Structure 1
Amino acid sequence: MISDNLNGVYQKITEACVKAKRQPSDVTLVAVTKSVDAVAARQLVENGVINLAENRVDKLLEKQHDLKDQTAIKWHLIGNLQRRKVKDIINQIDYFHALDSLRLAQEIEKRAETEIKCFVEVNISGEASKHGFSPEEVLNFVNELKTFQKVKVIGLMTMAPLTATEAEIRVIFKQLKKLQTTVQDLEIEQAPCSELSMGMSNDFGIAIEEGSTFIRVGRMLFGAM
């Protein structure tokens, strides 16, 4: 039952916030609906979750069409985006969680009709299978965005390896938090960088304890369906 799963997620958010001395209202739950149909996604919206995420352009557009009557939804693209598909999706989303190159930023700047809230993807763990900037590349990248008008770097995003231990996950999330603070302190208009998108079903409690403000949860919401 989606409502029961959602209550379980909210309980875990609250528990993590208590441990971190934070407010649950400081954490945005982004529901990853890639594994379910629009009917299940609609149930979630009817239970008050308005931030929905997909990792593929075609699937997001399909869900958006099926849920077009749900005007409160904020749409998040969390998967890597090919430059040739930017024109198809960039004006249909509210948040983009995987900005991973200057050329992609340039294409978004060219195609976007309004300012797009973006997270810079950072490959903290250094895994070859993951996209994103190395931590050492991030400051140079955000400095290159100073003249952009449509790309707004509101924060940083990372993913911990699925096989990582809790201690290893904490190290990764702490490093991203430190980098986020460093970027924020630069006071770049196009990169306020006040947010952190980190934490999924298996580790969002740890992520919240380490400062995450956006958690991306799918399996814990829909896994038992």
Structure 2
Amino acid sequence: MLGVVNLDKPVGPTSHDMVDMLRRLTGTRRIGHAGTLDPLASGVLPILVGAATRFSAELTGGLKRYDAIIRLGARSATDDAEGPIVSVSGPLPDETSVRTALSAFIGTFDQLPPAFSARKLGGRTAHRAARAGDPIDVPARAVTVHALNLLTYMQDTEGVDVRVDLRCGAGTYVRALARDLGERLGCGGYLSGLRRTEAAGLTVDTAVTPQRLEALAADGLLRNA
């Protein structure tokens, strides 16, 4: 088997877990992925099989699109729902303020990666150093946001949930964007949900689920593909 599998990764497993699954189902060792998705994220994960792994850099570097939910009114050590959540006192932003703040992130700007990320410095991985209690200062890098549109705004007694449609270039951390939006609004923020809807020209409406791949493998259709 060779080519690109447009996989709809579910919430829970890592991107590498999905690679291991394809290796098991196809009997092929030469498999990789283009663009990591965190365990809490779902959606398009391009899986490269066989000779297609040579195009990993080209596919990873393309436009990406996300459907993201940002929780405002609290902060997280990991900038997502996995870390300890700390509420922030003070007024919550209204919808107009959120729209104005979102517009400030359109374009190319320097973004500081999350403390818990896969970025490396001096041979050390940021998330491993942070978990060991010795975080490293990973430098900011330029990222590009092409569009950032507010889809829904919902306020409760403790915070605000905003759902956004994001189109961005490679290397953009949506967790960091959620954090920085909260800081700009003065209320704190973290990423509470993320679904990648497009990557490497592949869209989520044509993606295949792990369950479908398991069924194809059971019928003997993957090893001969």
TM-score (norm. length: structure 1) = 0.26
Which structure dedicates a bigger proportion of its chain to strand? 2
TM-score (norm. length: structure 2) = 0.26
RCO higher in 1 or 2 (8 Å CA, sep ≥ 6)? 2
Which structure dedicates a bigger proportion of its chain to helix? 1
